[in-house]
Structure 1
Amino acid sequence: MTIPEPIKKFITWIQDFDHRILRNEDDVKEKFILPMFHYLCYPEKCHHEYPLKTFKSEKYRKSPENSHIYYIQNDIQQKNTGTSLVFIKVIEPQAAKLNDAIEKYKFYIHQFNPLFFIITNGYDIKVFECLYCYKNELVFDINIDKLKSNDIASKFYDKLNFDCVKNIDNTANILKNTKYNLIEKLIRHHPDLQDVLEKYDFEPCTKREGYRLVVIRKKVAIACNLPKAFGEGNCEIEFSSLILRGLKIDLNNQDILGQLMTGLHTQPDWGCRRFFKQLNKNTFEVYLGKTTLILSELETADLCFCIDGVCQEYKNLIIEFENALETWNFEFVKLSDNWGFILFSVRQELWELMQQFANEFDYTKGKSEWHLFHRKDISIRVSRGIRDHTFILPKLDRRLDLLPNNQINIIYELNDVNLKSIETDKLTLWQQDIGIQGTWTARYTKQWLVEKYIPKVVNYYSAKSQLCEAKLLAKITNHTSERVLITEVDNLKDLAPYLRDIQFWLHIYVENIAATLLKPYYQAYTNLVRNTDSSITGIDYIVGNLRKIEWTNRQEEISNNFTDWKNLSFKHAIDCLDQQVARINNCEYENSLKADLITRTFIWIIENGKISFSQAQLNAAKQALLPLWQESRFEMRYVYTNR
């Protein structure tokens, strides 16, 4: 397919552009924005630069910030909110967080009423399509490197070129904005109208039919298709308010897990949820998929209630599937049509023998105890023809780069055959089929392969050829770490791997955390390490972490104060931990950085100290750790990774 000449020129320009030449805001304007819009075919006369005013005084700043607007008209007399096409704000090249700047300029977006809003630092680019009712849809969130792709550059040009944008009919949006502004003013001046509007509220209810869940509050309704096994769900969100009525927001599985799943059952103003932020006491900005909304306090509360109901069930089903099929300890992989888990790796020659054995012992060829296979393409189906036990699939492990003897990952595959008992009207039927006589779990499949099948295969063929049994068996690579279960830990150092999982999760966690999850954890581990030998090494590291929690000084000020506390004893560290326990008992939520520092402290003490503890203290520590670790495990697997 031939690329049109204007698009070809745009692609050539962007692929030749080097963002490293940008040194300041003027460079972003002169060397990036103006050339970009030239290649997007905007006439130079349609460009206008505006000094932005402050919100309060409406006086120009001494050094005013500038915005750039492209209009549909060349005539200066025709440049108004009815003809504005694109509102652009450039910021310093080193400014990393565009989201903070977006909020600052939303006032002006509303004032100029453009079709698109663009904010960029010359490398990162966010493009919003400005719809009615303060709703801005994020249509591009990319950087220069991604924009250099022919496909993305073509889509960018198709969306934002002058001929396309100028032909968008904005009349409907202007009329709707005007109508909504009038409605808002009327409501503010006539509070009694609120009673009239309430008759349009939804009727609250919760309904569940199979894998279909509907949760409704007065202001918000969410209808969700829950996930089956490791499949994907989705949901649709509606609002009852006069301004948002008719708006339907569809969220896919990735949106639900990536945006909505954190901070369940927390208050909107605690900062524990990643899909919105509080603008003022009564207003919240909410991000749902690619849609941004401004909601009232009541609408936000109802939205959170509905999300809690839907996401808790969504989460419960996922955990239920993983628990039942014993898959948590295995790496999750997406196959062409299905899902799977890496059990372990073997040498390619061993896998070929496993396939050969399965083919020779197909259940249609005999009735011995080993005639229980059926080959389908490259996978092996373990079955006697009536009941399927498990499916295993090979996958080349290119990460190991072992040539010519490549490692083959053995995949525990989940497909439509062995999950066919999951029916919408019988939610527990599939669980009843799990067991040695029915569907095998990932853990049992691995055990059976390593302890029975592979030894049988190796023994069978080594007796017929010169194959070295020990050599083949020695190349089995375990992909899972064999940890002592939390509930069975009696050696404190066995707790460290779990604490490290939690610490890593906290380190990347950008939201606050509900204090209810951390209160028993802080208390139990402070008690567990209380009687540590005072000769423990690294007291400066321990106290340093605890001091950082309280200090609000900059890092250089912390360094200057180092000499004041480097000789303190372990008793002082315990005093600091006791203070943190007392503090969190009076908190509703905790900053993830503080929880990270405290966890680092616990890890160091457990790994480096000689600790005297009672069985009661150990039991309390294990009990407090389990729910926190399970939360971190779920979010690291489903929230912070892209499936």
Structure 2
Amino acid sequence: MKTNLRRAIWKAHKKKCYYCDENVSIRELEIDHFIPKSTDKSLKEELLRELMLDSNFDFNGLKNLVPSHTSCNNARKGRYVPTAKSFSGVLVITERLLQKILEIKEELDLEEKYDENIGQIESYIEKGQASVEELYDYLNKDEANFEEVENIDHSSIRVSTKNVMIQCLLPRFPELHGSMLITFRSLRVRDCLITFNHSGIVNEIFQGIGSSPKDGYRGFIVYNDASKNSSVVQLGNNRFSLTLDEVSQLCRLIDKISPIYINTIKSIENVFKTQSFAYSTKGRFRLLKISRSLWREILEFAFEHDYENGTTEWHIFDGRASYLKIYCQTPGDSDRDYRTFIYPEAVDEGLWDKFISSDNEVWLCWEPSILIDNESDNTRVQNNIIWSAKYTYDWLLTRLIPTVIEYRREKDRSLLQRLFGQKKKLLSPFNEFNLDLAYNNALLITDYKDIDTLGKWVREVQVFFAIHSNHYLSVGTIEGVYKSIMLCLRNFKLNQGTFEYIKIKLDGNRSIESIIASVESKLNDLSNKNGINGSNMEYALRSLCALLHEGNYGEQDEAILVQKLTIFLEMLSQEYRFLSDLERVRDLWK
């Protein structure tokens, strides 16, 4: 008898022996023929006639089978003479349980088939004939990989490799903050939707841009395990494992998105001229800091020059608020609308600061969100119908504040002075006001034509990496710095103080030659590296700063030296510009 049928009879009878009504274990179980197989044929026929059963009744069928202990079964052997009465009692029970036995057997057969299938699947995986992901995809009729796409437009990015997809909403003014969604085809995290706001993008995802996943500069990579061909990553609040190939795909997509994201913000800031101004926690841009007394005088001036209460060219304010609303006509502009909003913000917002310093200053902040709500406003800003941050700053500094100060002085003059003295005319708010607000773009390294200005630029870069030492830089960048140092060592005369400083920084001994040899050794060591961090770069730049500032190049052609130096430092210039742009983007969240 098949195992599943035995178990089905046993379970249908509640795992009890039919004869003693006690529990019977599967190890003790025997399936007994109530009418024994050895029963005489004539006796079987007599029983069938008495019970009016079909002559073809199957004495090996389920109606004649009951569970029993081995001992109970053995006790009946050779001693039991079946009767119609006892058999009828069995039939009542077995006929009632017949359907249940068949149902249990069907379940057991399905389980057995399932176990066989699972065993085959495990065999496929163990032999390398199929991966877990491939079997999962097949069973779910799911696509094995993402479709590899690269869709980029002015508002969004969607890029994917076979195992990783990133969708990014690019920043749009006035928020200047984007968002990102990362998904994976890896079976472990397939249904996990990992999202990032602007802060998460620029501080977590963009950390270590351009570096190899193996170098340890990517902040979201917790550790790599080459023996298991996997990495543990931390994305947001999610920590999980990916294969090394999946991590590499993720890094490639991030490196593709990062310059687009950063340049989007740069282009927005270029329109609204906010690059030079700090971003406040309230989403405004801090233009300049003045005393609270001057701010009160500005509000008083605005209240007295409400646009509805006068006809002079300075009646341009909506003077019924605790902030400035400029509501005026600019030259050649027939529209009458708000031009800018200026809000005050406390200088020191920390509780402790208020106890240790007097809070008598206030920031004047440009508020973009009220004025600008769609892309069509870009043109209005460029035409000064809506004032940009830089335009507002220049106007405050060169028109409003001088006018308010002069207006207050005039009011403070004595009656006789006002009657007989010569009244000073207030500045015009607009006439002859410089409307050309184009920024001077940052100079390229090739624009520097002398050692002094080049040295100041190197100093600027050195300070940057002293503050932001966690950035990754390529090997080519540090090679250029070391080659610049060697060029200076071979062509500049050094005073004793500079020599001692350079010797310490560059691990030299008692001669210029020993310092050059040390730098050459450092260059050779770079051949085994993919990149360095900013702190290592900063130490090298300190030495170069000292050489450019204190070194004497004597009779040599300065232009030729500068040309050679700029060639060596070109890669540093490119990476510095990109990383400084990244830090600006990070500042927009603070």
TM-score relative to the length of structure 2? 0.62
CA, structure 1 residues 545+204, in 2 after alignment: closer, same or farther (shift >3 Å)?
A: same
Whichever structure has more strand as a proportion of its residues is 1
Q: What corresponds to 1:300 in structure 2?
A: 247
**SS at 1:463's partner residue?**
helix
Question: How far apart are 1:217 and its partner, in Å?
Answer: 1.6
**SS at 1:243's partner residue?**
helix
CA, structure 1 residues 640+186, in 2 after alignment: closer, same or farther (shift >3 Å)?
A: farther
Question: How far apart are 1:321 and its partner, in Å?
Answer: 2.5
Compare 315-324 and 290-299 and name the one that shifted more: 315-324
Which residues of 2 match residues 151-550 of structure 1 at below 5 A?
187=125, 189-193=127-131, 199-208=143-152, 210-229=154-173, 230-281=175-226, 282-335=229-282, 339-366=283-310, 368-375=312-319, 377-384=321-328, 386-398=336-348, 406-417=360-371, 419-422=372-375, 429-435=376-382, 437-466=384-413, 486-487=443-444, 490=450, 491-492=452-453, 493-495=455-457, 497-507=459-469, 509=470, 512-524=472-484, 527=487, 531-547=491-507
Instruction: Say whether the 8 Å CA contact 1:506–1:595 is kept in structure 2.
Output: no
Question: How far apart are 1:406 and its partner, in Å?
Answer: 0.9
Question: How far apart are 1:574 and its partner, in Å?
Answer: 4.4
CA, structure 1 residues 233+400, in 2 after alignment: closer, same or farther (shift >3 Å)?
A: same
**SS at 2:411's partner residue?**
coil
Instruction: Say whether the 8 Å CA contact 1:506–1:596 is kept in structure 2.
Output: no
Question: How far apart are 1:403 and its partner, in Å?
Answer: 7.7
Q: What corresponds to 2:91 in structure 1?
A: none
Q: Is 2:530 the partner of 1:588?
A: yes
**SS at 2:255's partner residue?**
helix
Q: Deviation digits for residues 533-555 of structure 1, max 9, x if unmatched?
A: 221514333222223xxxxxxxx
Q: Deviation digits for residues 74-122 of structure 1, max 9, x if unmatched?
A: xxxxxxxxxxxxxxxxxxxxxxxxxxxxxxxxxxxxxxxxxxxxxxxxx
Instruction: Say whether the 8 Å CA contact 1:263–1:272 is kept in structure 2.
Output: yes
Instruction: Say whether the 8 Å CA contact 2:277–2:286 is kept in structure 1.
Output: yes
Q: What corresponds to 1:36 in structure 2?
A: none
Question: How far apart are 1:256 and its partner, in Å?
Answer: 1.2
CA, structure 1 residues 576+432, in 2 after alignment: closer, same or farther (shift >3 Å)?
A: farther
Instruction: Say whether the 8 Å CA contact 2:481–2:541 is kept in structure 1.
Output: no
Question: How far apart are 1:640 and its partner, in Å?
Answer: 8.2
Instruction: Say whether the 8 Å CA contact 2:480–2:569 is kept in structure 1.
Output: no
Question: How far apart are 1:465 and its partner, in Å?
Answer: 0.9
Which residues of 2 match residues 13-162 of structure 1 at below 5 A?
none
Compare 597-606 and 621-630 and name the one that shifted more: 621-630
**SS at 1:299's partner residue?**
helix
In structure 1, runs of 5+ residues without a counterpart are 1-179, 423-428, 468-482, 548-564
Larger radius of gyration: 2
Instruction: Say whether the 8 Å CA contact 2:291–2:362 is kept in structure 1.
Output: yes
Determine the C-alpha separation between the residues in 1 that align with 2:513 and 2:126: 59
Q: What corresponds to 1:600 in structure 2?
A: 542
**SS at 1:334's partner residue?**
coil
Q: What corresponds to 1:48 in structure 2?
A: none
Determine the C-alpha separation between the residues in 2 that align with 1:286 and 1:616: 44
**SS at 1:494's partner residue?**
helix
Instruction: Say whether the 8 Å CA contact 1:537–1:608 is kept in structure 2.
Output: no
The aligned amino acid for 2:190 is R
The aligned amino acid for 2:465 is Q
Number of aligned residues: 420
TM-score relative to the length of structure 1? 0.57
The aligned amino acid for 2:492 is T
CA, structure 1 residues 632+302, in 2 after alignment: closer, same or farther (shift >3 Å)?
A: closer
The aligned amino acid for 1:408 is V
Determine the C-alpha separation between the residues in 2 that align with 1:452 and 1:622: 42
CA, structure 1 residues 436+640, in 2 after alignment: closer, same or farther (shift >3 Å)?
A: closer
**SS at 1:371's partner residue?**
coil
The aligned amino acid for 1:515 is V
Determine the C-alpha separation between the residues in 1 that align with 2:528 and 2:379: 45
The aligned amino acid for 2:128 is H
Question: How far apart are 1:205 and its partner, in Å?
Answer: 1.0
CA, structure 1 residues 313+499, in 2 after alignment: closer, same or farther (shift >3 Å)?
A: closer
Determine the C-alpha separation between the residues in 2 that align with 1:569 and 1:400: 55
Q: Deviation digits for residues 197-256 of structure 1, max 9, x if unmatched?
A: 594211111224552322222111122222213433222221113332212222222221
Determine the C-alpha separation between the residues in 1 that align with 2:523 and 2:166: 38
Instruction: Say whether the 8 Å CA contact 2:165–2:182 is kept in structure 1.
Output: yes
Instruction: Say whether the 8 Å CA contact 1:434–1:440 is kept in structure 2.
Output: yes
The aligned amino acid for 1:190 is G
Q: What corresponds to 1:120 in structure 2?
A: none
Identity over the aligned pairs, expressed in percent?
22
Q: What corresponds to 1:107 in structure 2?
A: none
Instruction: Say whether the 8 Å CA contact 1:395–1:408 is kept in structure 2.
Output: yes
Q: Deviation digits for residues 273-323 of structure 1, max 9, x if unmatched?
A: 211144223211111001111100221122223323333322222222333
Question: How far apart are 1:597 and its partner, in Å?
Answer: 1.5
Determine the C-alpha separation between the residues in 2 that align with 1:216 and 1:253: 20
CA, structure 1 residues 383+295, in 2 after alignment: closer, same or farther (shift >3 Å)?
A: same
Determine the C-alpha separation between the residues in 2 that align with 1:305 and 1:610: 45
Cα RMSD after superposing both structures: 3.8
Question: How far apart are 1:590 and its partner, in Å?
Answer: 2.0
**SS at 1:409's partner residue?**
strand
CA, structure 1 residues 443+240, in 2 after alignment: closer, same or farther (shift >3 Å)?
A: same
**SS at 1:394's partner residue?**
strand
Determine the C-alpha separation between the residues in 1 that align with 2:406 and 2:568: 47
**SS at 1:434's partner residue?**
helix
Determine the C-alpha separation between the residues in 1 that align with 2:495 and 2:314: 60
Question: How far apart are 1:497 and its partner, in Å?
Answer: 4.6
Compare 316-325 and 193-202 and name the one that shifted more: 193-202
Question: How far apart are 1:190 and its partner, in Å?
Answer: 2.0
Instruction: Say whether the 8 Å CA contact 2:278–2:587 is kept in structure 1.
Output: no
The aligned amino acid for 1:495 is W
**SS at 1:292's partner residue?**
strand
The aligned amino acid for 1:268 is P
Compare 199-208 and 324-333 and name the one that shifted more: 324-333
